Structure 1
Amino acid sequence: MLDVKALTKTFGNNTAVDKVSFKVEKPCMIGIIGRSGAGKSTFLRMVNRLTDASSGELLFEGRNVLELKGRARREWQSDCAMIFQQFNLVPRMDVVSNVLHGTLGKRSTLGTMFNLFTQDEIHKAIDLLERLGIAEHAAKRAEALSGGQQQRVAIARALMQDPKIILADEPIASLDPMNAQTVMEALRRIHEEDGRMVIANLHTLDTARRYCDRIIGMRDGRMVFDGTPAQLTTGVARDIYGADENFSEAATSTEIRDHIHSDEAERLIAKVTV
């Protein structure tokens, strides 16, 4: 499905992403890890065409998306939805309207100007909120929701695009452990139930191991690891992060069970599953 060939991005004399290459044969959930500044966010932005690549190719189903312009580029951005760390919602707008804005890339200019949505679109938005466990908040302003709830609104907005790929740039970096687990469970279920490819930049190893089928490690713009969760050993992680023997995964864990009793964790998760 996806074939990344020597994808590179330079800013002056600095190389943010350096000849990254890999193939994805079928929909799966991929986690990209690495320290801050490794090039993870720049890579996702190039995939979504928010940032232009300096060189390389990015083939999806045989088409080089880096060559797309105008309407074709906008259509690709609908097929390749982006979820951001800071949610990117309209704070004073109600939740369901925020979700409906996921359709704007496929709407007419008139429909976009006057926020004209069909009944089918409104029902779909509410169904997505129901699926994500937050339908009761549909009429509230987005700013009234917790961070985890807002991120689920952002996921619902992405799903309104009916994308083939979901890109998530540090989707849980600003969330507490319980909400982080809720969001990751939602992304995993979307992959499994919908058959969508999910590529997420993650900052904790336990999260990548638990939810992803494949993990890519980046360091200084280069891809230095590509393997399964089982292959992501502590030694490999040290190499990815450029750390010494004092490197500890426990300090960055987002696993609920590390913070509260496991039975209580299961009860909390059951309340917010997709």
Structure 2
Amino acid sequence: MLVVHDVTKIFGQNIAVDHASFVVDRPAMVGIIGRSGAGKSTFLRMMNRLTDATSGEIRVEGRNILALNGTEKRAWQSQCAMIFQQFNLVPRMDVVSNVLHGTLNRRSTLASMFNLFPQADIHKAIDILERLGIAEQAPKRAEALSGGQQQRVAIARALMQDPKIILADEPIASLDPMNAQIVMDTLRRIHEEDGRMVIANLHTLDTARRYCDRVIGMRAGRIVFDGTPEQLTTGVARDIYGADESFSEASTSTSLETLETAAYREAMLTT
């Protein structure tokens, strides 16, 4: 389904993504990990065509999406939905209208300006909210919801596009552990039930191991690891993050159990 070949992105003197190559031959859930500045977000933005690559190819079902322009580029962006760390909702707009914005790429400018949505789309939006467990929030303003609920609204908006691929850029970085788990459970369920490919940038190893079929590690723009969650050992993680022997997975964890254990150990050391 997805072939990434020698993809590079250069900003001035900085190489953000350095000759990245990998192949995903089925609708897997893929996690990309690495420290800040490793090139994870830049890569997803190239996939969604929010930024252009300097060189290389990204082929989806044989078509190089980096070569698309105009109408074809916009059509691709509707097939490749993007979920952001900061949700990117319209705060004062109600939840269901935010979800309906997932249809903007295929609607006329006039209809978009006046928020004119077909009844069928409204019913679909509510059905998606029901599926994600937040249908009761539909009439509320997005700003009235918790962070976890807002991220599920963003996921619902992505599903309104009926995409082939869902890209999630640090989708749980601003959430507490409980909401992080709910959001990741939601993405995993969408992958399994719909057969959609999900590619998520993640900042925690336990999340990548628990939810992903495959993990890609990036360091300074280069892919330095590509394997299964079981192959993601602490030693491999140190190499990905450029860390020494003092590296602790607990410091990057979103797992409630790991955090509780770490807190208990810290309390015991200070008593």
* Range into which the TM-score falls when normalised by the shorter chain: over 0.9
**Offset at 1:201?**
0.2
Note if 1:33 corresponds to 2:33.
yes
Once the two structures are superposed, what CA deviation does each residue of 1:184-218 show, in whole Å capped at 9, x if it has no partner?
00000000000000000000000000000000000
How far apart are the structure 2 equivalents of 1:242 and 1:156?
36
**Offset at 1:260?**
6.2
Task: Name the residue aligned to 1:119.
Answer: 119
**Offset at 1:228?**
0.1
| 8 A Cα contact 2:102 2:158, kept in partner | yes
Q: How many residues were matched structurally?
A: 261
Task: Name the residue aligned to 1:194.
Answer: 194
1:186 alignment partner, SS class? helix
2:103 alignment partner, SS class? helix
Once the two structures are superposed, what CA deviation does each residue of 1:86-143 show, in whole Å capped at 9, x if it has no partner?
0000000000000000000011122112211111100000011111111001000000
> Amino acid of the residue matched to residue 95 of structure 2?
V
| Deviant stretches of 4+, over 4 Å | none
1:159 alignment partner, SS class? helix
| 8 A Cα contact 2:83 2:158, kept in partner | yes
Note if 1:203 corresponds to 2:206.
no
How far apart are the structure 1 equivalents of 2:142 and 2:201?
24
Task: Name the residue aligned to 1:53.
Answer: 53
Task: Name the residue aligned to 1:265.
Answer: none
How far apart are the structure 2 equivalents of 1:54 and 1:182?
37
Note if 1:92 corresponds to 2:92.
yes
- Correspondence 1:193-232 to 2 at 5 A: 193-232=193-232
Q: TM-score, normalised by structure 2?
A: 0.95
How far apart are the structure 2 equivalents of 1:95 and 1:103?
14
Task: Name the residue aligned to 2:42.
Answer: 42
How far apart are the structure 2 equivalents of 1:15 and 1:167?
22
Unaligned runs of 5+ in 1: 262-274
> Amino acid of the residue matched to residue 236 of structure 2?
V
Task: Name the residue aligned to 2:164.
Answer: 164
**Offset at 1:12?**
1.0
2:17 alignment partner, SS class? strand
Once the two structures are superposed, what CA deviation does each residue of 1:34-60 show, in whole Å capped at 9, x if it has no partner?
000000000000000000000000100
State which drifts further: 40-49 or 244-253: 244-253
The percentage of counterpart residues that share the same residue type is: 80
1:72 alignment partner, SS class? helix
1:71 alignment partner, SS class? helix
Q: What root-mean-square deviation, in Å, do the aligned CA atoms of Structure 1 and Structure 2 show? A: 1.0
Task: Name the residue aligned to 1:185.
Answer: 185
Note if 1:150 corresponds to 2:150.
yes
Call closer, same or farther: CA 1:8–1:171 in 2, change over 3 Å: same
1:105 alignment partner, SS class? helix
- Correspondence 1:15-30 to 2 at 5 A: 15-30=15-30
Once the two structures are superposed, what CA deviation does each residue of 1:141-193 show, in whole Å capped at 9, x if it has no partner?
00000000000000000000000000000000000000000000000000000
Task: Name the residue aligned to 1:13.
Answer: 13
How far apart are the structure 2 equivalents of 1:206 and 1:98?
31
**Offset at 1:251?**
1.9
How far apart are the structure 2 equivalents of 1:240 and 1:260?
25
> Amino acid of the residue matched to residue 143 of structure 2?
E
Task: Name the residue aligned to 2:265.
Answer: none
1:85 alignment partner, SS class? coil
1:149 alignment partner, SS class? helix
> Amino acid of the residue matched to residue 14 of structure 2?
N
> Amino acid of the residue matched to residue 57 of structure 1?
E
Note if 1:233 corresponds to 2:233.
yes
Task: Name the residue aligned to 1:103.
Answer: 103
2:178 alignment partner, SS class? helix
Unaligned runs of 5+ in 2: 262-271
**Offset at 1:256?**
2.3
**Offset at 1:259?**
4.8
Task: Name the residue aligned to 1:253.
Answer: 253
